[in-house]
């Protein structure tokens, strides 16, 4: 079987998901508000902002936590009883919310910008922008998340976990990809690029 067919078959379960209703999701999102904020703009730097996040990405991550594929003990009790439709509705609601911008540490911008846009050719670290775009918008439908304005503390923690080899199960190609991306990042590079990402914004047209 051709390789691209194998990949399509592997991704098929991710694609066959419920279509979310943002109006229904607004009420259902109350279970998420304590950690992620009423509008998805978490004020707690350890918990990610969800506002503006691609609905397909957010829904998939939530299903993985519910199904105990992605290990987030603090989140599991909140989502364990949610149906696929509930999750799709909540993700659709947050996708329509306005993401509040963050601010980067000026002392870390130069290195963070270099890692984000160019990577580190000497050590084989690829550019973040290759998958997440120059302004951190990600790619809807391809499960490359929006990352701009995300809390630096959260991003740094995720990168450190990826560098340590943590994946969302053995069958998840996306977290496995990130393990490879983060493998050669230094602590200095992780802190700098995480701060730079927090300060990323989308230029006005």
Residue 5 has pLDDT above 90, yes or no: no
Q: Which CATH superfamily is domain 3-95 in?
A: Cytochrome c-like domain (1.10.760.10)
| 93 close to 27: Cβ distance less than 8 angstroms | no
* CATH code of the domain made up of 106-198: 1.10.760.10
- Written as six digits, the tokens of 173 are 């190609």
Instruction: Decide whether 3-95 matches 106-198 in CATH topology.
Output: yes
CA dist 54 and 13 (Å) reads 18
CA dist 28 and 67 (Å) reads 19
Q: What is the pLDDT of residue 170?
A: 85
Kindly tell me the sign of the dihedral angle through the C-alpha atoms of 78, 71, 93, 48.
positive
Digit-coded pLDDT (tens) for 53-99:
999 999 999 999 999 999 999 999 999 999 999 999 999 999 999 99
Q: What is the pLDDT of residue 198?
A: 98
Between 202 and 94, name the one with better pLDDT: 94
| 143 close to 60: Cβ distance less than 8 angstroms | yes
Q: What is the mean pLDDT of residues 23-48?
A: 97
Q: What is the pLDDT of residue 11?
A: 55
Closest CA to 103 of 189, 51, 146, 45: 45
Q: What is the pLDDT of residue 169?
A: 86
At residue 201 the predicted structure's pLDDT band, cuts being 50, 70 and 90, is: confident
Residues forming beta bridges with residue 139, ordered by sequence position: 144
Digit-coded pLDDT (tens) for 109-152:
999 999 999 999 999 999 999 999 999 999 998 999 999 999 99
Q: What is the pLDDT of residue 8?
A: 44
Residue 24 has pLDDT above 50, yes or no: yes
Contacts 24+ apart (CB under 8 A), 79-85: 79/31, 82/28, 82/31, 84/17, 84/18, 85/18, 85/20
Supply the DSSP symbol for 20: P
At residue 2 the predicted structure's pLDDT band, cuts being 50, 70 and 90, is: very low
| 108 close to 195: Cβ distance less than 8 angstroms | yes
At residue 4 the predicted structure's pLDDT band, cuts being 50, 70 and 90, is: very low
Digit-coded pLDDT (tens) for 161-191:
999 999 998 889 999 999 999 999 999 999 9
Domain ranges of the chain: 3-95, 106-198
Q: What is the pLDDT of residue 6?
A: 43
């Amino acid at each position: 079987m051709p390789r691209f067919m194998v990949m399509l078959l592997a991704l098929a379960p991710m694609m066959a998901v419920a279509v979310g209703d943002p109006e229904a999701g607004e009420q259902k999102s109350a279970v998420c508000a304590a950690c992620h904020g009423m509008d998805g703009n978490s004020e707690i730097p350890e918990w990610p902002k969800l506002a503006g996040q691609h609905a397909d990405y957010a829904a998939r991550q939530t299903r993985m936590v519910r199904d105990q594929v992605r290990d987030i003990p603090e989140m599991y009790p909140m989502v364990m009883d949610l149906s696929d439709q509930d999750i799709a509705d909540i993700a659709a609601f947050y996708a329509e919310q306005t993401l509040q911008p963050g601010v980067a540490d000026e002392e870390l911008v130069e290195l963070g910008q270099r890692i984000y846009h160019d990577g580190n050719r000497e050590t084989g670290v690829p550019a973040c922008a290759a998958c997440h775009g120059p302004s951190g918008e990600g790619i809807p439908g391809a499960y490359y998340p929006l990352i701009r304005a995300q809390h630096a503390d959260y991003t740094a923690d995720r990168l450190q976990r990826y560098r340590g080899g943590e994946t969302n199960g053995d069958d998840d190609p996306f977290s496995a990809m990130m393990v490879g991306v983060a493998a050669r990042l230094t602590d200095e590079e992780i802190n700098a690029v995480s701060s730079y990402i927090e300060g990323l914004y989308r230029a006005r047209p």
